[in-house]
Amino acid sequence: MAKKETKQKILDAAELLFAEQGFSETSLRQITGDAGVNLASVNYHFGSKKDLIKAVMDRYLAIFMPNTNAALLQLLDEPAITLHQVFDCFVAPLMQLVSVQRRGPEIFLQLLGRGYIDNQGFLRWFIVNHYGQVLEHFTRAIQKAAPGLSSADLFWRLHFTLGTVVFTMASSEALRDIAKTDFNEDIDVEGLVRKVIPYLASGVGANPV
């Protein structure tokens, strides 16, 4: 039980620091300090910082990716689909990340964004190697919904999509406060995600210049 508690403490401390500061800027000493464990315990449970990063991400990916894949496969069986429907496939799986922790959806997207900002190539390799089929089904769904997009257009638009989502979720508390103060709208995290979907669908599907 003690070993499990130590591992859990390290994961919990690491994911918050990684989300707030980034992978590169977070040291193992910071993580062990926040977790209240010794430095050797990281090596014992994870082996290296890279392996710890992968373990932090996989707590979320192991839930998010299979559920997203199931939704995408169901959508791909439809004769005609829209980009809005494609992005809708991510909502329920994202909300299920509260099973990891209360702020799971926001933290996961922040971590995903950090992986790109910090240029963590090994993390992208890990995701592609373990969940490549999900990414393939997502790409197929986008191409089915917007067949006129070239591969280059698809690359850029999905890159901009990730940036929009990460910024929105990183600013989620502030945005929800503004919505309440200025527009008297009570929006939870799922409501915020659903607000951004029409914007993403329109941007990805816009006619190429």
Per the structure block, which two tokens stand in for 19?
Answer: 């989300």
- List, in sequence order, every beta strand (DSSP E) within 49-194: none
The one-letter amino acid code at 189 reads: V
pLDDT on residue 62: 94
Spell out the per-residue pLDDT of the chain, length 209, in tens: 455 688 999 999 999 999 888 888 899 999 999 999 988 898 889 988 889 999 999 999 999 999 999 999 999 999 999 999 999 999 999 999 999 988 898 888 888 877 776 665 677 788 888 888 999 999 999 999 999 899 899 889 988 888 888 788 777 888 889 999 999 999 888 888 899 999 999 999 987 76
Its sign, for the CA torsion 33, 36, 39, 41, is: negative
Question: Do 111 and 57 contact (CB within 8 A), yes or no?
Answer: yes
Those residues with Cβ within 8 angstroms of residue 51's Cβ, 6 or more apart along the chain or in another chain = none
Nearest to 104, CA basis, from 52, 68, 57, 157: 57
On whether the pTM is more than 0.75, the answer is yes
pLDDT on residue 47: 86
Q: SS3 for 163? A: helix
Nearest to 92, CA basis, from 200, 204, 193, 196: 193
Q: What distances in angstroms separate CA 27 from CA 18, 21, 42, 124, 163, one per listed residue? A: 9, 10, 12, 21, 25
pLDDT on residue 1: 45
Measured distance CA(157)–CA(138) in Å, rounded: 13
